[in-house]
């Protein structure tokens, strides 16, 4: 179970780090993309970011489920699982905004995306703390 807990913590830490880079660097830069390049740029971003976040997200979700099954009485494991579900919900909201995103046509959409991603970043940061504590307890 120690390996599962450490993989979970590592995946969550990676996702938190990516979320903060996206919050501070990537999404603000969207506003700098010229309108005639937006569609191609956004498609390239979407493909690349999926490769970066897909594997750790799958690892986070699977290891969270395994931890809940293995330690159903642990309040901390359940708190961590709730954070995973919250991150999934926030990501769903971000994907919805992404689908209609064109910062040159609707600057408000980018502000909404930044707010949603801030929530997601905070959730993954909190999940990193719970994940590290669960890993430390498993060690």
pLDDT in tens, 29-87: 998 999 899 999 999 999 999 999 999 999 999 999 999 999 888 988 998 899 989 99
* Number of domains forming the structure of the chain: 1
How many Å apart are CA 32 and CA 63, to the nearest integer?
A: 38
Distance (Å, whole) CA 76 – CA 66: 14
pLDDT surpasses 90 at 12: yes
Mean pLDDT of the chain: 92
CA 97-99-102 angle, 5° bins: 80
pLDDT of residue 45: 93
Global confidence as pTM: 0.91
Q: Are 135 and 5 in contact (CB under 8 A)?
A: yes
For residue 80, what are its two tokens? 């961590």
Q: What is the DSSP string of 51-97?
A: HHHHHHHHHHHHHHHHHHHH-TT-HHHHHHHHHHHHHHHHHHHHHHH
Q: How many residues does the chain have?
A: 139
Range of the domain at 67: 2-138
Query: Averaged over 107-114, what is the pLDDT?
Result: 89
Of 51, 45, 50, 58, give the one whose Cα is nearest residue 87. Answer: 58
């Amino acid at each position: 179970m120690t390996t599962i807990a450490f993989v979970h913590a590592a995946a969550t830490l990676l996702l938190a780090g990516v979320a903060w880079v996206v919050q501070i660097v990537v999404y603000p830069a969207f506003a700098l993309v010229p309108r005639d390049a937006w569609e191609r740029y956004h498609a390239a971003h979407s493909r690349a970011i999926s490769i970066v976040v897909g594997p750790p997200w799958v690892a986070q979700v699977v290891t969270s489920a395994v931890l809940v099954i293995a330690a159903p009485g642990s309040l901390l494991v359940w708190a961590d699982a709730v954070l995973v579900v919250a991150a999934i919900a926030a990501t769903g909201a971000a994907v919805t905004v992404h689908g209609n995103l064109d910062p040159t046509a609707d600057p408000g959409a980018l502000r909404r995306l930044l707010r949603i991603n801030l929530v997601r970043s905070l959730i993954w940061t909190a999940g990193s703390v719970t994940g590290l504590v669960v890993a430390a307890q498993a060690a």
